[in-house]
Amino acid sequence: MKDARSCHGGIDERYRDLAVAIIEQAVRDFRKSESDRERWDCIRFFKSGWFVTLSGGYDGNILYRRLMASEMRAAKSQRKAVEKFRSKHDGA
């Protein structure tokens, strides 16, 4: 009888793929959250032991800080675009 890991790339690889998919979905949920509750659920996950287990020991606080920094950069870029648009069209 074959070892379960010898089929289709190995069971460990499939569990790793599932763990990555769960984390990626949490990141998408965080970015698209429409309420404080949804956002807080994602933050709790990033800071949980479950996240550490799924990520193989990665600190979820680091991921959370990177997501926040990314949002701040996007907001700054959007503000600049609005300012540029306004300055271009104020004199029209």
Model confidence, pTM:
0.72
Q: Which residues contact 43 (CB under 8 A, 6 or more apart)?
A: 30, 64
pLDDT of residue 92: 53
Q: What is the pLDDT of residue 77?
A: 81
**Rounded Cα–Cα distance for residues 30 and 71 (Å):** 11
Average pLDDT per 10 consecutive residues for the chain, totaling 92 residues: 50 91 97 94 96 94 94 84 81 56
Domain count, the chain: 1
Closest CA to 55 of 24, 14, 30: 24
The whole-angstrom separation of Cα 55 and Cα 20 is 7
Residue ranges making up the domain that contains 76: 4-90
C-alpha to C-alpha distance for 26 and 28, rounded to whole angstroms: 5
